[in-house]
Amino acid sequence: MNQRLEKIIEVEWKAQELQKRFTRSGPLIEQLTTITPGSFDITKKTSTPSQYLIIQGSFDPPTLSHLELLSRAIDLRRKINPLNSIEVVFLLSLSHVDKKLNVLNRSLLGSRVEMLEKLSKSLDLQLAITIGLSNVARYIDLIEAAQQSFSNIRNITFIMGLDVFKKVLDVYYYSEPLEKVFPLIFKADYFVAGREKVFSDKEFSLYLKNHLPTDYHQKVHFLAMPNHFRFLNATSIREGYSKNQSSQKNSIHPVIERYLEKENLYRSTSKWIATKIGIQSIIQLTLEAGKDRIIAVEILNHLLPLIESDALLQQNLTNEYKTGKKIEIVKRWNQLLRLIS
């Protein structure tokens, strides 16, 4: 098994393990990696509280709108409080993004992390950038998870689109009236993106006036995004690359463009789809059996070459995945577990 595939499997293991731990441990963030610029003093990071900018999404793939939103958020954070350092967090939320990662038309989490790593290393932000996983969807829970995970937090700012912010203020997601949960929700600040000529700063102010007590308005800031980002989304990029449409290249950073061309990430071949299904399913079965990651890796070392060479196995795994059955994959898991024992 090549080194890249091993890393993808490691991230998938951590993701599924994190989801499993939620029932007994509550909201959690798993920090996978932190990229720091050459001039960054790591000792200062641990001793000096920072302003954390957290942008949560599927990042499948990261787009130019993610980068534009992040850039504007950094500028605004510096304008509001120029004296405190800033750290950026790209967060893949397992509950919000994919409770069960659908790999028929999406990439594995390890591939998304790899894209974010390459992108972060190419950006000249002069800020520490952490890439992580979260097992919660609600931002009220994410605040708790972030406070536990990052010991040097001065304040937390979430970066999001307007549609997500509306859910933050939706009573449907809480068991208590909003006036009781507002103090918990607004332990963080919110930078909310809207589109020029679609939803203006003035319209956003009116929205806040109608939905939020005045005391909390200073915790929310509007980021007016250029209107050409209106039609830019990850779904259209994935579909475009699966059809080999070069027009999608204008939607992503050159580093991501080169990565997608090299790895052909959104290819829809039966072999690659079955490989993703095999990785996800074997890890799930191994965790359910209480075995460790080494067992999963050893089983996959035997299974992946079989998937690559057997068209019927590819078809069976894909059909089972679509119907939610596990007959073939369980049989293979049991056979290979006995083989390596």
pLDDT for the residue numbered 99: 47
Average predicted confidence (pLDDT) for the chain: 88
Name the pLDDT band for 46 (thresholds 50, 70, 90).
low
3-state secondary structure of 99: coil
Place of tokens 């690559």: 308
Q: What is the distance, to the nearest Å, from the Cα of residue 321 to the centroid of all Cα atoms in its chain?
A: 23
CATH tag for 3-263 (out of 3.30.1240.10, 1.10.3720.10, 3.30.300.210, 3.40.50.620): 3.40.50.620
Q: Is the pTM of this model over 0.85?
A: yes
Token pair, residue 258, equals 């080169």
Q: What is the pLDDT of residues 257-286, one digit of tens each?
A: 999 888 888 877 899 999 999 999 999 999
Cβ neighbour number for residue 314 with a 10 Å cutoff: 22
Q: At what angle do helices 293-309 and 311-323 cross, to 10 degrees?
A: 120
What confidence score (pLDDT) does residue 267 get? 76
% of the chain exceeding 70 in pLDDT = 91
